[in-house]
Amino acid sequence: MNVEIYQVDISLISIEPVIWRQIEVPSDISMADFHKVIQVSMGWSNKYKHRFVKDMTFYAPTEEFLYEDYSFKEYGKLTLKDLLEVVKDKMIYNYDFKDNWAHEVILLKKLEADPNIKYPRIVDGEGNCPPERCGGVDGFYELMDILDNPKHMDYEDTIEWLGEDFDIDFFDLEESNKDLIAAF
């Protein structure tokens, strides 16, 4: 029996214009591997902690950050279809709790697997991933303001840190898929 393919949208919350990816993954992908897919497709480095949040429950590799209003489950034996069951199901993916990058994850479609396609794969997207440890959404907007003003006192240091070729609008679908193939 063929595994169902999930077409999923992943969008950074509170960033305008929206930085997003549309991916296709097997519905039975482990949550650990789905985390890896998000990391690669968004452009993160996988240096910091993460968790998924759905229905007032945290799902993570280990029990570390609990809040009294939330329950916790280790996701070691869970698959994506355990958390996203029907089209339009949603959850949140948090990465780097200090910067608190929150991503909305939505199941867009359930597809039949195409034997000629290697999954997981990125099918579309827009925008470059924010630099890690830039201070979250507020720090990211501050960086963008600095980059828009070459006369800003921190402009040279920011260019040196980010590199002269940093472009927030840049997204290369082909290169991103090569990175994803290399990761799996």
Higher per-residue pLDDT: 146 or 2: 146
163-172 pLDDT, tens per residue? 878 888 899 9
**CATH code of domain 5-127+172-183:** 3.10.290.30
What percent of the chain has a predicted confidence (pLDDT) above 90? 77
131 preceded by cis ω (within 30°)? Answer: no
Query: Where do we find the tokens 């650990």?
Result: 32
Backbone angles phi, psi at 156, to 5 degrees: -60, -45
- Quickly state the pLDDT bin for 162 (edges 50, 70, 90): confident
**Which residue in 171, 125, 169, 172 sits closest to 147, CA to CA?**
169
pTM of the model: 0.92
Structure-token pair, residue 106 = 């939505």
- Quickly state the pLDDT bin for 9 (edges 50, 70, 90): very high
Q: Please, what sign has the CA dihedral across residues 75, 80, 82, 86?
A: positive
* Domain residue limits, the chain: 5-127+172-183, 131-167
Query: What mean pLDDT is predicted for residues 133-140?
Result: 92
- Quickly state the pLDDT bin for 69 (edges 50, 70, 90): low
Query: Where do we find the tokens 């240091």?
Result: 157
Q: Give the model's pLDDT for residue 56.
A: 87
Pairing state of beta strands 5-12 and 57-60? unpaired
Q: Which residues pair with 44 in a beta bridge?
A: none
